[in-house]
Each structure stands twice: as structure tokens, then as C-alpha cells.
Structure 1
Amino acid sequence: MELMVMRQLDEGYTYQVDNIDKNAWHNLLGKFNDSSFYQTWSYGAISWEKESLSHLILRKNDEIISIAQLRTAKLPLMPIGFAYLSWGPIWRKKGGKNDYEILRNMLRALYSEYVKKRLYLLRIIPKQIHDNEDAIIGVYKDEGFSWLPDPQKTIYVDLTPSLDEIRKNMGSGWKKTLRRSMNIDMDLIEDDEASLNDTAISLVREMKKRKGFADFGSMENNLIINNDLPNELKMKLVFCKFENELVAVFGWSKIGETGIPLVSATGNNASKSLAPHRFYWKMIEYYKNNGFRKCDLGGINKKNNPGGYQFKAGVAGATRIEKNYIGQFDLCENYFSSFCFKTGMSFRQHCRSLLAKVNRMKSYR
């Protein structure tokens, strides 16, 4: 494999790696617009184990201007490993401008540490969409990364219009059901300190048992992570109390400027409450009132989950943004790291595909 000659960091830029603790990392997340729940220390440590985490901090003239949390793995006694960065790097500081030179130097720092020094395969999946994607993809390619389009499509709610306009733009059927839900006697109970976390987990398990789905437990995992986060980073949890019983829960991230729903579960007695419509509208109100620019409603698939697609399309309405995430970026100079990582990822994807087929078969019963 031909080795690539990479540029050095520009003058004034330096980086540090694995020289920060959990509390300091969480404090840093609050300084960036593109921070997310998935870049919290708690998410990484609980999802992947603390020992596999690596944290890189980029400075310019001693000011922290970009950060990234990665998952790493290495084969024992061999120079073979990988570094995986999702929902990052984080490089858009609050009050600053979108400076591509910050991104460029962050990519150089990541290359220097994980590709050149550790001989890993480096994979970055930002899980974002941008108005200027061609320019950003160009920065990655200039720095030697290969690019593949992300097959996952998502729907964004545009939060720049007024709340009245956002509601007016919603799908007609969705608005009609929302109006009906407003007339149902239910209470929405907010929980900002995760005091009802165990109740939320019970509702998630109840829904999974009722629907018979086998999955990776991401909602349960998110609630466990939520317990470990400081209050300012905890998700916003809202419960529906219907006929004197907590019958549904909904939770969304409060981090960054792009909203993300993280938990949505209904118990066995929730069907008459129409709680999901009330939940989503309350989330949109929260994001609009707190200065968020858009809300990522998560993956969509018209063919395999037409009901989920119609619901999300109704929420986002006429001004919705349907788009694939920006893509996947790889860089490696070690053939053995590349081969081992890609073989493992292929096997993992095969297992996920089988699980998805099982879920679809169960839904047809």
C-alpha cells in the first residue's frame, strides 16, 4: 500500500490526547454547537467500556477549538487496531464561525495520532447534514480520506420559522391527530433529573415485549447513560399520565444546536392517549424556545417502515429536509489494520441485517 504524505499541523495548532477527565470533557461539550449526546463520556464508557475511549483536544494558541471522542481497539502484541469516531469531530464553537481550517487541522491531528503513530485504521462517521457538504467532503479528501455515501436517510425539522408556522406546515393528518390529543384528559410530567428513569426503562421493556422486537436495547442503554450524565447534559424526559397511570415516556437530547429524540416508549395502556403526538409537539416547542436550529428525527425507510416514515414526515411537514447523512470517511496506512477492521464490520453488518429481517417477520404476524 502506498504511503500518503500528510501535511503537518498549521502554525499555532497543537493537540493533546487522553489528558482529560470525565467532568472536564462534559464541560467542554457545552462550548460547541455541534456537540451531541453520542459524544458524551458517559455514552462512550457505558456503550463501549471506558478503557476503549480516547479523547483528542485541538488547540490554537492555547485555546481549545475542536474535540473528539473515539472508540479504539487493538489486537494484543500486534500493531493492528482501529479508531472509530461517530458524531464528530466537534469543531463548531459557540459564537464562532464555521472555519474549515479548524476542521482541516483536526483531521491532521487525528491522522497523526491514530494512523501514523498507532498504525490504526481511522473511520469517521459524522452523522450530520450540511448546507455546504461538498466543501466539507472536499476538506476530508484533501487530507487523504476516502469517502463513501451514508446509506441512512433522515428527516430534519426546520426550526427557523415561528412555532405557528412550524405547526401550520405539519402534515394535515398529523395536525388533526395532534388537535384530538390536546382534548384528551392527560398530564405531561417533566423529569429533568432522571428521578423516574427506572419507570422509563420499565415502559421500554413493556413495549419491546408487547411488540416482540429483538433489538440492540439502544433506548434502555440511553436511559442508563442518562443516569450517569450531569444534570445540564441529561435528556429531557416527559411522561404521559393517563387514567392515573404513567403509560408512556419520551426523551430528547438537550446538547448542541441540533435536537435528537432518544427515547420513545408506550406501555400497554397508552393507545387511547395519543401521547406520541403531544410528546413530539412538546419537544419541538422546547427546541424552538431554546434556540435549536433543527431537529433530527432519526433514520427513515419508506419501504421497510412506511408507518414510521409517514409519522416523521407529518411532524416535519412541508418544510422538512429529507437527506442522507454526509457519509463515511476512512484513512489507513496499515494493510492488516484495514483488513481486520473491515472484515469485522462486514460480519457485524450481516448480523444486523439478519436481526432486521427477524423484526420485519415478527411485525407481519
Structure 2
Amino acid sequence: MADMTAKMLNSSDVSIPKGAKLTMSYLTPKEWDETAHLFDGVCQEQMHVFASERWPSMKIDCLHFKLDDELVAGCLVMHRAAPLGLGGLAVCKWGPILLDAAAPNAQQLFGDVVDMLINHYAVERRLMLSMLPRPQPAETNFAVEKLQERGFKEGAGLPFPNRYFVNVQLTDDAMRASFGQKWRAHLKKSEKNGLEFEHCDVSQMPVFYELYREMTARKQFPDYSAFDSLHHLMDNIHESARPELFLVRHEGEPVAGGVIFTAGDTSVYLYGATNDQALPLRAGYFMHWHIMRWLARQERIKWYDLGGTDGFLGLHQFKNGMVGKAGVVSQVPKVMNYAHWFMPRLLGNTLFLARDVKAQIMRRILSLKKNTPSD
């Protein structure tokens, strides 16, 4: 089920040549975002234009790591110090990112970069270093193992951690044969409905925004996805990493759309939207099939990350059928925390506990609202 990419993620370390020197340097946000597309492991969470809009109260460092003056890795780290030198937090989401994820020494490089981050943020700057490894299409996430080896402790996890990966390293026929039987049947029906698929430029984003507004109004659910930040991302991100927009039309009218991050070796489904006509037309099946076909023709891309489900059974069935026999359902790792000093550990654990309690209360409130009959 998992191919050579997943096997690489689980392979044993290959040592870095003796005497080779790993160095760290700071970049400006502009320099970072213009070069982020070079890394196989790049994702939206590691883009400055995304992180600065999503977490405006945090300072952000953009770092390059070179081995004997050759670029091998990078990392975006958000941080905030507490008053009176009592500690603070340094947060890395879905990083560090490697230039070549398939390099024989990839795991060793990842570990050595983490060592430098520990020394810089946890030891020298007296911050709790909190890292959320990127989910991987493999049974074992080597990043979690590397962090555990260095003394990181598990923090909170997502209530619904499943992550769905479609293998797009296949021919059209092999990919289609991999789908679940029901998913394949719905796709076949969608192809008889006169739908048209478009790969659009950024000028068509207003069409997608309108579809999204129609969908949220129809479903009447609170949106915590930071969708408002998508405007900023699409308007300001460097063109080398700008997400791709796809639309599906029926009789000339847009009925479904998707925004996909495609800069690294794993594409990510960021946002999708549909109107009232999409469900009977099975436009979602049609759209994702053609997105997968487009991704399969991009030499660098190996996996299509569909995201999670937030506990919705119907969404699980849809994504699980799309993953099929050739894909992988793995899990988003728990947050991993490291503190070298006592006060940063105490402060960091207190802040995370308060955040987790607040999140549990909000989930409980939403659950009560869903189960309360409307007038």
C-alpha cells in the first residue's frame, strides 16, 4: 500500500560524513517565501505569509540549514517570550522541512536540525520548544521517533487525528482501480452529468469565495478553519508556492471548487466549496478525480493529503473511498514539547493546559448546539 516514499520514511539512518558541518542562518520573510518551494517538505504551515496572518501575536524566525555550505533543510519557528525572563514558547508546525526528503541521510539531517533548534530556543533563549510533526503517509512517523529520542514529551492531540493520503504516483487506470467500490460507482455516475473541470488562475478566486459563502450559509455551521486568511494567502504568496484553484461547472455555472497547495512533494487539500446542485450531480467525486489526474502529471508530487474529517462519518466514508487500496490513512501526531529549564516547562505546560481546557469547552458547546432543536 505504501510505496518507496513511505519505505524511505521508515528506513534506518544513513550517517552524515564525518567532519561535515551543519550551520544555521536567518532569512528575511521575503527571502524565505521566495525559496520555500525548493523544499520537498514545504507546506502552507511553513510559509511566512500564512503563519504571520494566522498567528499575528507571534514573532517569526525563518531559518536555512546548510551542510558544508549546501542547503539541506529549513524551518519556520514562531515564538513569544514571557515577561521577566520567565520563559515563553517557540512553536514549529509541520517542520523542519527537508530539501530532499528522499536523500539517504534525510532522517539524520532532520535529527541534527532538531538538535540545533533545541540548543538555540530551549537552551539559549530559555523557551519551551513545541513541535508538531507533519503527518506522513506511513505507519511510523520518523519525525516523532527523532523527537522522542531527544527527550520531547507528548502533549495534546487532535480529537479526530486521522489523515487521508491518496497515492497519485499511479496511472489513471491504476488510480481508478484503487478507489473503493462505492466511490468508483459515484464517480462513474458523475461523468454522465455533463460536468466540466477547469484549472483556473487566481482571477477566478471570487467565484470560489462565492461558492464557499453559499456552502456555509446552507450548512449553517461555525467556521473555525481560518478561511478569511485565504484572501491574504492567495493575494500575497510568492507565485512559486501559490495554491492552485480548480472549478467544476454545470451548464456554465460553477457548482464546486477546490484550493490545493502543491509546492512540495505532498499536495494538501486546503479548502473546498459546493452549492446546492453539487450533491445530486456528484460534483465532488468528479472534481477530486480530475484534481488527482492533474497531480499525477506533476513530476514532483507523490501524495494528495485530503486532511481530516472533524468526526463527520460521511466525510470519512468519502475520503476513505478515495484513498482506496493504494493510499494510506495515518494520523496527525500529538504535539511534542521540550523544555531545558524549569520555568519555561512550568509556564508552557500551564499555557497548553489552559488552551486544551478552552478547546474542550468549545467542542462541548458546539455539540450541545448541534443537538438542540431549532425553533
Q: TM-score, normalised by structure 2?
A: 0.85
Q: Distance between the aligned counterparts of 1:10 and 1:70, measured in 2? A: 27
Does 1:13 pair with 2:22? yes
Match of 1:141 in 2: 148
What are the superposed Cα offsets for residues 254-296 of structure 1, whole Å, 9 maximum, x if unpaired?
1111121011111344333322111111221122111322222
Equivalent of residue 156 in structure 1, options 136, 155, 165: 165
Match of 2:120 in 1: 113
Which is worse superposed, 84-93 or 23-32?
23-32
- Give the Å deviation of 1:104: 2.0
Equivalent of residue 250 in structure 2, options 242, 259, 262: 242
Does 1:285 pair with 2:293? yes
What are the superposed Cα offsets for residues 19-73 of structure 1, whole Å, 9 maximum, x if unpaired?
3123321233222211112211111111112862112222211222111101111
Amino acid at match of 1:294: W
Q: Distance between the aligned counterparts of 1:213 and 1:25, measured in 2? A: 36
Match of 2:351 in 1: 344
Q: Distance between the aligned counterparts of 2:323 and 2:341, measured in 1? A: 44
- Give the Å deviation of 1:335: 2.7
Q: Distance between the aligned counterparts of 1:11 and 1:320, measured in 2? A: 37
Match of 2:11 in 1: none
The RMSD of aligned alpha carbons is 2.6
Match of 1:332 in 2: 339
Match of 2:4 in 1: none
Aligned residues between the structures: 352
Match of 1:3 in 2: none
Does 1:172 pair with 2:173? no
Does 1:258 pair with 2:266? yes
What are the superposed Cα offsets for residues 160-218 of structure 1, whole Å, 9 maximum, x if unpaired?
332211111111111111111112123323223x2122332232222222211113243
Q: Distance between the aligned counterparts of 2:145 and 2:133, measured in 1? A: 14
Q: Distance between the aligned counterparts of 2:21 and 2:189, measured in 1? A: 59
Q: How does 1:3-152 map to 2 (within 5 A)?
A: 12-16=21-25, 19-49=26-56, 52-93=59-100, 96-129=103-136, 131=138, 133=140, 136-147=143-154, 150-151=157-158, 152=161
What are the superposed Cα offsets for residues 127-159 of structure 1, whole Å, 9 maximum, x if unpaired?
222648375444323333234685512121123
Contact 1:204 1:220 in 2 (8 A): no
Query: Tell me, which stretches of 5 or more residues in structure 1 are unaligned?
Result: 1-8
Q: Distance between the aligned counterparts of 2:329 and 2:272, measured in 1? A: 21
Change (3 A) 1:10 1:347: farther
Q: Distance between the aligned counterparts of 2:135 and 2:338, measured in 1? A: 19
Equivalent of residue 276 in structure 1, options 284, 287, 308: 284
Does 1:317 pair with 2:324? yes
SS at match of 2:83: coil
| Percent of aligned positions that are identical | 19
SS at match of 1:299: coil
- Give the Å deviation of 1:93: 2.0
Amino acid at match of 2:176: R
- Give the Å deviation of 1:361: 4.8
Q: Distance between the aligned counterparts of 2:321 and 2:145, measured in 1? A: 34
Change (3 A) 1:130 1:326: farther
Contact 2:122 2:338 in 1 (8 A): yes
Contact 1:128 1:326 in 2 (8 A): yes
Query: Tell me, which stretches of 5 or more residues in structure 2 are unaligned?
Result: 1-17
Contact 1:181 1:278 in 2 (8 A): yes
Contact 1:88 1:124 in 2 (8 A): yes
Does 1:182 pair with 2:191? yes
- Give the Å deviation of 1:10: 7.2
Q: Distance between the aligned counterparts of 1:258 and 1:209, measured in 2? A: 31
Does 1:353 pair with 2:357? no
